[in-house]
Amino acid sequence: MPILSSNQEIILQGTAVSPGIAFAPVHVMGRGMVAPEVYEISHHHIDYERNRFQHALDKTKQQLSGLQQKIEAISGEQDALIFEAHLMILQDKTLLKKIDVAIEERLQNAEFAYYAVMQTYTEAMRRMNDPYLAERAVDIDDVAQRLLRNFSSADAEHKSEDTNPDHKHIIVAYDLTPSDTATMDRQMALGFVTEQGSINSHTAILARSLGIPAIVGVEGAIMKIKALTFIILDGYTGKVILNPQPSTVNKYRKIQRAKRERENKLEEIKESKTQTLDDRTINLSANIEFDHELPLVERSGAEGVGLFRTEFYLLGGGEIPDENRQTKVYTNVAEKMNPHQAIIRTLDAGGDKLPAEPLPEPEPNPFLGWRGIRISLSRVGMFKDQLRAILRASAHGRLGVMFPLVSGLTELITAKDILKQCMDELHEKGIPFDPKIEVGVMIEVPSAALMADELAKEVDFFSIGTNDLIQYTVAVDRVNKHVSALYKPTNPAVIRLINHTVRSADDNGIWTGVCGEMAGELNLTPLLLGLGVSKLSVGTHQLPKIKKAVRSLSYSECQAMAQEALKCRFSKDIFELSQNMAHSSYSFLID
Ligand code: PEP
Ligand code: MG
């Protein structure tokens, strides 16, 4: 595939997954390691090669420690822990021994000896077909590539800059893991473009949370886009414009200004209520992955946190933080959000996220496997640490707790029993907590939605996780771009399940929220309101717009439209009904 020529304006199309416009030169993050030159060394050069290797190794360690400090200063200790893992790869004694043997006995030049050992190692990990190991292999590639670049000292300064540029840039990569996205230097990385990925992957969700404009699904991007090419990334339409002409740059600067002005205007309604024209009050909360996003939550005008996805915080470092460290983080959330409620979701590992622990063998179907509450119920000690930490933090504000991926009553009752045990333990020790903490369940598996009338008797609220509910109802992998056309929030089966869930909640006097990405879809706000959802929890970037949308709608009109929608047989008809109402009420908000 040719690299596209140097000054011609070229547009590549992908899928916009995180809004915003960025202008910058490209930094290409390659896929895996690039093979270095190979040659046989003489016996006299063995020590010389060993020294070259040691020099490259020391240099790499220095760079990684520097990066660790930098990320710690920008986004906190947790985010920086990934570099700790990278440093450990460099100290692996078995690998170091193998490299030494390859230099001494096979007389390989140092960079090739290093490359060959690391390549064999990562290939073996990839062959095991385990998502956790595959993710670790990407980390190892990353470190190895950095070290290989450090072999030539003349090149080292320049190349290491290329590995992690100190200038503003847009990342172009084959794929990025959620942790790559979480650790991105947001001062320098203005956006990213990947070949793989989908709008509902956790990488995309994180990009939206962190406000990083992003486009996925640009085929052949790393081959087509040369490093340092100046590009415009249009995170609204999914266009990547290479070598834009001055008129194109001007056009996009204008669009960017207009969007900013609109966003500033929306800030003005920050303090106003989220209420429809006919006075139906909606609670509009924010989804977060880390507590350092709280300033953004406060600025967005959110009425609390509707979903704290704790797995990114819990699994982002080397080991799961203990009860005391977790208590600190949840207390921070409770205090900052007070008097609003913050809902802490217990660990939801597995699927496309990191597993809670390395698995002895790969799961054949990770999305149908050891995920969500299933992990917590089989690791009760770990689960109780988290529950006690949430309870202890509940003494400092208004917290809620909810369980992910519950598939039926037995799981819910077991989880609640464990929560009760934790309350008793704290009570016995005289440790304060809120005994009335609201307990909820995520409705994201069709079996849970169908049993909503029974589940409702056990909890204080429902939170519908549409990302998974759609995936499981329609049997469409939420991160597989080949089947993404089937991934439709307005699939009639999904709408019926949402309706059944809300009706069951109403009958039992509890409330229903939606915290999946559907809650932030402006075209679908009329439909969710009309179905009776009373809480929406969305990424902070989308929050002011959703507030404005709710304030522009009539609840009774939404209800009438939703009744029509429930009669529809096709996704597209349901979508159109809601979209028409959205357009006639707030077309100015829709991109
Ligand atoms: C969901 O499934 O809609 C949800 C909010 O959970 P997650 O995206 O973390 O799986
Ligand atoms: Mg989910």
pLDDT tens, position by position, 522-572: 999 999 999 999 999 999 988 999 999 999 999 999 999 999 999 999 999
Q: Rounded to 5 degrees, what are φ and ψ at 537?
A: -120, 120
Which ligand places an atom closest to the C-alpha of 466? 1
What tokens does 482 get? 């080949």
Whole-angstrom distance, CA of residue 591 vs CA of residue 580: 14
User: Residue 153: is it exposed, middle or buried by C-beta count within 10 angstroms (0-12/13-18/19+)?
Assistant: exposed
Measured in angstroms, how far is the CA atom of residue 414 from the centroid of ligand 1?
Answer: 21
In contact, 462 and 510? CB cutoff 8 Å: yes
For 361-383, letters b (16+ CB in 10 Å) and e give eebeebbeebbbbbbbbebeebb
Task: Give the residue-averaged pLDDT of 453-479.
Answer: 96
Measured in angstroms, how far is the CA atom of residue 467 from the centroid of ligand 2?
Answer: 6
Measured in angstroms, how far is the CA atom of residue 462 from the centroid of ligand 2?
Answer: 13
Q: Which is more confidently placed, 361 or 70? A: 361
Is 202 considered catalytic here? yes
Q: How confident is the model at residue 59, as a pLDDT?
A: 87
Most confident range (mean pLDDT) of 86-100, 471-485, 515-529 is: 515-529
Q: How confident is the model at residue 32, as a pLDDT?
A: 59
Query: Would you say residue 401 has pLDDT above 60?
Result: yes
> What's the order of all strands across the beta sheet hosting 10-13?
10-13, 239-242, 230-234, 21-29, 169-173, 189-194, 214-216, 15-18
Q: Rounded to 5 degrees, what are φ and ψ at 29?
A: -100, 110
Beta strands in 404-499 (DSSP E): 438-443, 461-464
Q: How does strand 15-18 pair with strand 214-216?
A: antiparallel
In contact, 188 and 161? CB cutoff 8 Å: no
Q: How confident is the model at residue 498, as a pLDDT?
A: 98
What tokens does 141 get? 């590639």
Beta strands in 304-407 (DSSP E): 305-309, 341-345, 398-403
Residue bearing the CA closest to ligand 1, atom 8: 467
Q: How confident is the model at residue 83, as a pLDDT?
A: 73
Query: Would you say residue 427 has pLDDT above 90?
Result: yes
Q: Which residues line ligand 1 (CB under 6 A)?
A: 307, 309, 348, 444, 465-468, 515-516
Task: Give the residue-averaged pLDDT of 411-421.
Answer: 98
Residues β-bridged to residue 233: 22, 240
Query: Would you say residue 301 has pLDDT above 80?
Result: yes
Q: How does strand 511-514 pair with strand 283-288?
A: unpaired
In contact, 297 and 337? CB cutoff 8 Å: yes
Nearest of 446, 554, 552, 555 to residue 495 by alpha carbon? 446
In contact, 455 and 448? CB cutoff 8 Å: yes
Residue type, 444: E
What tokens does 89 get? 């790869």
Helical residues (DSSP H) of 301-371, grouped into ranges: 310-315, 323-337
Give the number of the atom of ligand 1 that is nearest the alpha carbon of residue 468: 2
Q: How does strand 230-234 pair with strand 21-29?
A: antiparallel
Q: How confident is the model at residue 161, as a pLDDT?
A: 36
Mean pLDDT, the chain, rounded, equals 89
Q: How confident is the model at residue 480, as a pLDDT?
A: 81
Query: Would you say residue 129 has pLDDT above 70?
Result: no
The active-site residue, picked from 27, 86, 169, 202, is 202
Query: Would you say residue 65 has pLDDT above 60?
Result: yes
Residue bearing the CA closest to ligand 1, atom 3: 465
Left (φ > 0), alpha (ψ -120 to 50) or beta: where does 217 sit? left
Q: Which is more confidently placed, 292 or 281? A: 281
Share of the chain above pLDDT 90, in %: 60
Measured in angstroms, how far is the CA atom of residue 470 from the centroid of ligand 2?
Answer: 10
Residues β-bridged to residue 29: 173
Distant-in-sequence, close-in-space partners of 420: CB < 8 Å, separation ≥ 6: none
CATH code reported for the domain at 43-149: 1.10.274.10
CATH topology of domain 278-589: TIM Barrel (3.20.20)
Residue type, 578: S
Q: How confident is the model at residue 555, as a pLDDT?
A: 98
Whole-angstrom distance, CA of residue 570 vs CA of residue 563: 14
Nearest of 507, 402, 516, 421 to residue 459 by alpha carbon? 402
List, for residues 306-342, the tens digit of each pLDDT value: 999 999 889 876 688 999 999 999 999 999 999 999 9
Q: How confident is the model at residue 356, as a pLDDT?
A: 81
Whole-angstrom distance, CA of residue 488 vs CA of residue 579: 14
- Please state the domain extents for the chain: 10-33+163-262, 43-149, 278-589
pTM for the model? 0.72
Q: How confident is the model at residue 160, as a pLDDT?
A: 36
Left (φ > 0), alpha (ψ -120 to 50) or beta: where does 32 sit? left
Coil vs helix vs strand at 198:
coil
Q: Which of 405, 515, 528, 535 to mutate to test the pocket of ligand 1 (most atoms within 8 A of CB)?
A: 515
Q: How confident is the model at residue 442, as a pLDDT?
A: 98
CATH topology of domain 10-33+163-262: Glucose Oxidase; domain 1 (3.50.30)
Nearest of 306, 311, 304, 305 to residue 326 by alpha carbon? 311
Is 515 considered catalytic here? yes
No. of H helices and E strands in the chain? 24, 16
Residues β-bridged to residue 433: none
Residue type, 242: L
Residues β-bridged to residue 288: 308
Handedness of CA 458, 464, 467, 471 (dihedral sign): positive
Peptide bond between residue 246 and the one before it cis (omega within 30 degrees of 0) = no
Measured between alpha carbons, how far is residue 412 from residues 406, 440, 477 in Å?
7, 9, 25
Whole-angstrom distance, CA of residue 397 vs CA of residue 324: 17
Most confident range (mean pLDDT) of 182-191, 211-220, 437-446 is: 437-446
The active-site residue, picked from 27, 86, 169, 515, is 515
Measured in angstroms, how far is the CA atom of residue 465 from the centroid of ligand 2?
Answer: 5
User: Residue 96: is it exposed, middle or buried by C-beta count within 10 angstroms (0-12/13-18/19+)?
Assistant: middle
Residues β-bridged to residue 537: 285
Measured between alpha carbons, how far is residue 48 from residues 52, 63, 454 in Å?
6, 23, 73
Q: Which of 441, 467, 470, 542 to mutate to test the pocket of ligand 1 (most atoms within 8 A of CB)?
A: 467
List, for residues 168-200, the tens digit of each pLDDT value: 999 998 888 766 787 788 789 999 999 888 887
Q: How confident is the model at residue 492, as a pLDDT?
A: 98
Total Cβ atoms within 10 A of residue 437: 20
Cα 403 from chain centroid (whole Å): 19
List, for residues 375-391, the tens digit of each pLDDT value: 999 999 999 999 999 99
Query: Would you say residue 287 has pLDDT above 60?
Result: yes
Most confident range (mean pLDDT) of 120-134, 249-263, 305-319, 335-349 is: 335-349
Q: How confident is the model at residue 29, as a pLDDT?
A: 81
